[in-house]
Structure 1
């Protein structure tokens, strides 16, 4: 699935060869082999290049499609395709897609998904999670958790009516303060390369569940400071067991008790 982007559209040459019914057909000449942008099927290109014999490859090519439309098209084509990273698909949608296509892709979840995405972006810029979240889902990046995993972990928080009703800046500030409190309460557990549960998707799910309760207590106490959150986190110490991979939480890793 190829696209000749608008800035290059005037450099292609089309020659009409004839008509079949109401359909016109012909040939399109491109200036060079790297002229069109591969919107989908990129992984097959290398295979054809390495093939021992010439192979006629059928393609679909659009001319002049803008980048936001490319992202929409990629999402539509791959929304049901197995093996395509959900992080990559949502990352493209969040950056490029129109509001209408976001509504189609996320349906009734749109607002909460957008909120979860905004929270993850903010945490990746302003907390211990800086440069530790894989936004594209591409393997081998050595990041603790990917975008989709973090967004899923936030699901119980963004679905909470009290939290969702807060002003946008307050919601971001609450999550930022919570993770700053977490990083001071368990600095070793949140350090890179420790193997801690807290640096894995399961641990982030547990932490976000704790955050939901912490926020409600802070609201009742009228104190959402980092110091108050750290004090409230003390009550979870026996449960999380320093986020030790061999501790009390370990039997629940992997979706069920071992």
Structure 2
């Protein structure tokens, strides 16, 4: 039986790489997108041209009705779901004293509520032997100024992940989170001075920024052979923090 994956935020830098990597691993992929259908169709086309199977579905990750419809669609098309990867997220930066509360609410809605809503459906529907993989961030450890609200949202993802892993007892479904460090994506580069980017590229002992395929490689491991890794936050950052 072909395994099936849902990847939320699959048009982003990391999300797209994850969707394409899982397809390369032989999984059928449902490419979730929030609003950019053109980019979602590009991901589907890339996968299908390489011999894989994929389709796209639009939904607001924080809307439980739309996410329920997404899971209904993957079951209708492919018979079920085995892997759910929550890459969807937003990052809005400012010192705590200056952050607009509407920005806090936006991050809460996508990063916390969105992860919760998708995880709720995943916990109900992922087949035996499957995996739920959330996205945290290394900034929960680094305590970088201006990242207060974003790091707090990812700290909530950590808590959800570790607890859900225990709630899935008896289902043979693993639940983990991946916590990237600085990774070369448009989301990371947006608004950052070149000096900050250069400093970040030297922070890891490997002296470079992470690449989306570095993160996708870990997702591939957690989605497939890594059955004894469960209830963990995996810091995928080249050694910036552990």
- Report the TM range for the smaller structure's normalisation: under 0.3
TM-score by length of 2: 0.22
Query: Which structure is larger by alpha-carbon Rg, 1 or 2?
Result: 1
Higher strand residue share: 2
Higher helix residue share: 1
| Structure with larger RCO (C-alpha < 8 A, sep 6+) | 2
